[in-house]
Amino acid sequence: MGPGRRRARRPRHELGQARCRHPGGTRNRPRAPACHRHRAGQPSGAPVLFQAGDSDGGRELAARHADVVFSANTEYGKAVAYAADLRERLARHGRSPDSLRILPGASVVLGDTTADAEEKARWVRGEQVSGPRSIAFLEQYWGTDLSAYDPDGPLPDIEPGEQELDPSRGTISVERRTGKQALIRKWRDLATGRGLTIRELVLEVSPGHPSFVGTPSSVADEWTRYVRTRAVDGFNLLPHLLPASVTDIVDTLVPALQERGVYRTAYQGTTLREHLGLPSPG
């Protein structure tokens, strides 16, 4: 390309772009953009919209606009309640139950036997919660530097300052911020009663435990129940080790799911929307 010459730009309508305008709203709460999607060049007709967030507002946003929602409600009872709530909201917005796909996050640890899988899960969990991470976890609640404490020793012998008990402070969830003192007392009782170190306590109480632990057959049975009762439409995999954990799922869990008729053996379409079984946009 010679000097002074500019590369020709493709017209917007050929790029399949979505033009959005923001019709006002406040500084902190802007209104949702009104999007005019140009469908040329998009085999799906329109982008597949994903949403994540479990608040009431997040659920409403999913029910009004999303095609797929990522959920943290992996335990079966919570998954059933979450799906029922979303489908009630879909109906209120004039949408069908099949217009939204629910994909909770799932961490999977597989083994040849249940005991093998449980041992592997303990190893995974131990690797995830190192000494420094254990200290960092407690610092969220104490609100102060705890690096002088030994992660393989007892809990800190200090209490969080009064300013750290303010529910408006910190990055942890509101329900945990508002009950710091009671939560820390509960942890102290647990650590004292079982003789737990800081790291051992954090292994017990911090989030991140594998969602599904077992043989390919047992996990496939459990997932089949989720899918056939419409608690979920699938799972968003959260691999603990790459590529090994994904290889385990592909080589052993997927065939077990296919045998049970809850996982496809071939794709019927060519677009993401078709792969998800979503209706074509109106």
Query: 73 and 91 in contact (C-beta within 8 Å)?
Result: no
How many residues are listed for the chain in this entry? 282
Please state the rounded mean pLDDT for residues 105-117. 96
Please state the rounded mean pLDDT for residues 170-187. 67
pLDDT in tens, 51-87: 998 889 999 999 999 999 999 999 999 999 999 999 9
With a threshold of 0.75, does the pTM exceed it?
no
Q: Is the pLDDT of residue 241 over 90?
A: no
Amino acid in position 257: L
Q: Work out the number of other CB atoms within 10 angstroms of the CB of residue 232.
A: 23
Distances in Å between the Cα of 259 and the Cα atoms of 163, 209, 252, 254, 264 are 57, 28, 11, 9, 10
176 against 117, higher pLDDT: 117
pLDDT in tens, 29-46: 444 444 444 444 556 568
Give the number of C-alpha atoms closer than 13 A to the C-alpha of residue 186, restricted to the C-beta side: 10
Burial of 214 (0-12, 13-18, 19+ CB in 10 A): buried
Phi and psi (nearest 5°) for 56?
-60, -40
Query: 129 and 240 in contact (C-beta within 8 Å)?
Result: no
